[in-house]
Structure 1
Amino acid sequence: MGFARRLTSANRCLIGTWLKIPALEPIEILADAGFDYIVIDQEHAPLTLEFAYQATVAAQGAGLSVLVRVPDRSGSHLQRLLDSGVDGILVPRVTTVAEATSSVRQMLFSPGGDRGLGTTSRAGRWGGLPRSEYLRFGDEEVLRAVQLEERAAVERAEEILDVPGLNGVFLGMGDLGLSSGLPASDPSIQKLVDFLLSVARSRGIPAGTAVQTPEQAREAADRGYSYVMVSNDTSLLRSAATSAVAGFHGS
């Protein structure tokens, strides 16, 4: 089942985390811990296309859905990642309808988009998947999400979320704070969050975000987010390591 369909059929908020360490062992640990999905972070970690492919195979084999946050809006990675069989894509720093449209079209097959046919790729089960099923899965079950991270972009949410073929949105609170110069707790920022969630809900588009703690994740779920990333593999390792050393020293 593709991630887009998982989101609509789960009846709960799905929990994931960012993958930043270029190794397969963290993936098995995260799967055993019970995460629903991972997000391979090519924007803020030195993760190559080859590693993303290997990580996708390992993660899906362990029962995880796989999203990839691509490095930028250029679209240079989209075709190959989709051919690798990923369950969804997050395109960072989208600010306009034109940028969202360009990104989404590269992830949709013709006539709705410009994605090339690759039935002999892993996404097509090496040519073993019927062409109709390959096309259906790519257009109906792969998550095509844009990240709205600037105040002006969130304010344009109604226009951006009306882009044909867009079926996911991610709110980047960190960069929203930078672009606005305001803390997340500021009433005007919270009003923007409510606005985005309302726009997404009215269009049936799952909204996601990233948080640091399980408590924040539960709050996000209660607020109406459909998927949430909690921390990341490096921070989880750092927290456990710091706690172990502090415990040894009695502090």
Structure 2
Amino acid sequence: MTRLGFARRLASARRCLVGTWVKIPALEPVEILADAGFDFIVIDQEHAPLTFEFAYQATVVAQGAGLSVLVRVPDRSGSHLQRLLDAGVDGILVPRVTSVAEASAAVRQMLFSPGGDRGLGTTSRAGRWGGTPRAEYLRFGDEEVMRAVQLEDRAALEAADEILDVAGLNGVFLGLGDLQLSSGLAPSDPEFQKLVDRLLTAAQARGVPAGTAVQNAAQAREAADRGYRYVMVSNDTSLLRSAATSVVADLGSRFAEGAPHGV
């Protein structure tokens, strides 16, 4: 079965792709998110207790349900990249990248030789356990898997042009929350917006899809209008919390402690 990788899916899409973060270590939320109509999920191993085994299982379930699967790895060490790529994920986000050297090291581990250092694993799930011809396996890995770095530090944003020129980099993610912390600037500050515009302009000039995370649909529409090509809206835990809180709030005083029965 021919599968469209996330990098090629982004290149061919005529709209911003919409996904959400997965933080709950269970497969049912993955199916629910697929049924809801999201384009992709991001399995969050940086800010949630999600193991490789769960990421593998969630990838199988999500892709079977029509979702693309990205994984945000725990750190930029590179120790998790090979096994996730062998698991057949559609893309990887490497967090906390602050320099050209770090970006280059991360990307090289996700590219096959001679462009990189990724190990050959044709008998893995990514190679359909040996069923995919070697040439197609190599082509898909280098051309269709998204290799993205997260730029979340002011210094990284100021070096965006150089980082985005790293050979083989085909995705970038802007971490707005950490950028606020590192810059000491509020999102409304013109200097903050200049940093954001700098990244978006550099990414667009190089044809590198830029993504970010937002809290709600209105912010997602604003991000799409601004030029982001993929956006994560909320996450499974927050969506559950919001729905549960809304139900309890809607019940109001009728079910409040001490309210008379039969009211």
The 2-side partners of 1:29 and 1:22 are apart by 14
* SS of residue in 2 equivalent to 1:16: strand
* SS of residue in 1 equivalent to 2:70: strand
- Map of 1:34-73 to 2, 5 A cutoff? 34-73=37-76
Change (3 A) 1:4 1:250: farther
1:163 alignment partner in structure 2: 166
1:212 alignment partner in structure 2: 215
1:197 aligned partner, one-letter code: L
The counterpart of 2:99, out of the listed 71, 96, 111, is: 96
The 2-side partners of 1:51 and 1:211 are apart by 25
The 2-side partners of 1:86 and 1:185 are apart by 36
- Map of 1:124-139 to 2, 5 A cutoff? 124-139=127-142
- Map of 1:1-251 to 2, 5 A cutoff? 1-249=4-252
The 1-side partners of 2:20 and 2:188 are apart by 23
2:258 alignment partner in structure 1: none
The 1-side partners of 2:17 and 2:7 are apart by 11
The 2-side partners of 1:183 and 1:70 are apart by 27
Shift of 1:36: 0.1
* SS of residue in 1 equivalent to 2:112: coil
Question: What is the TM-score with the length of structure 2 in the denominator?
Answer: 0.95
The 1-side partners of 2:38 and 2:191 are apart by 32
The 1-side partners of 2:178 and 2:189 are apart by 14
* SS of residue in 2 equivalent to 1:99: helix
**Bigger Rg, structure 1 or 2:** 2
Runs of 4+ in 1 over 2 A off after TM superposition: none
Q: Once the two structures are superposed, what CA deviation does each residue of 1:125-159 show, in whole Å capped at 9, x if it has no partner?
A: 00000000000000000000000000000010000
Shift of 1:250: 5.2
Counting matched residue pairs gives 251
* SS of residue in 1 equivalent to 2:129: helix
The 2-side partners of 1:201 and 1:192 are apart by 14
Segments of structure 2 that go 5 or more residues without pairing to the other structure are 255-263
2:261 alignment partner in structure 1: none
RMSD: 0.8
Q: Quick one: percent identity of the two aligned structures?
A: 82
Question: What is the TM-score with the length of structure 1 in the denominator?
Answer: 0.99
